[in-house]
Amino acid sequence: MFRASKWIPVILIVFLVSVFASTVFSIEIGKPVAESPDKRFAKFPNGSILDRKTNLIWMEKDYWQMEAKWINWYKAREYAQKMNHKRFGGYQDWRIPTAKEAESLYDRRKRNTDKDGDKIFIDSMFPKGAGWGTWSSDEKRNKAITVSYKDEGGQAYQDKISGVDAFLRLVRNATPSTCLL
């Protein structure tokens, strides 16, 4: 027999933990310096952007914007390690996004421009001049999935060494336990 009184303490604990986690996260990352018009994205002074829809934190700038060169998949993995070693934005858990995570940035209603001045469909909270896609961590033998933000978007397997979609935007999960500011 179900007794509601047994579940009230459990529900209360879950609620309090979620409120505490949100508060700790806000304290550790600071207040946003800008928000997207739809409030989905919040930009922070440490070079990161929180996606409230997916609860992911993205690097504001991608590899192309920071290094002005192409990157293969293996170098992308090394770059994530480098950013973690440098504690970029105060964190050391940056990683290559999954294809699903990377694809979550694509939104046909959003407009931005890539490094060539062409239209890409990611929020304008991300600065203009980025690459038009990103590597993902999803791999199969000598290929990995890249996600495009141009035209209709989508995913494609590219050679890990010579892939033509040689861009990268790192991500991390937005959880208080991994905030290291």
Per-run averaged pLDDT (10 residues), the chain, 181 residues: 54 47 48 95 97 97 95 97 97 98 97 97 97 96 96 93 86 67 37
What pTM does this model have?
0.80
The pLDDT value given to residue 179: 41
Residue 145 phi, psi (nearest 5): -80, 135
The pLDDT value given to residue 165: 64
Output the six-digit token pair for 171: 């991500």
Output the six-digit token pair for 69: 């060169």
Contact assessment for residue 172 and residue 91, using Cβ atoms and an 8 Å cutoff? yes
User: In 3D, which of 41, 81, 39 has the Cα closest to residue 168?
Assistant: 81
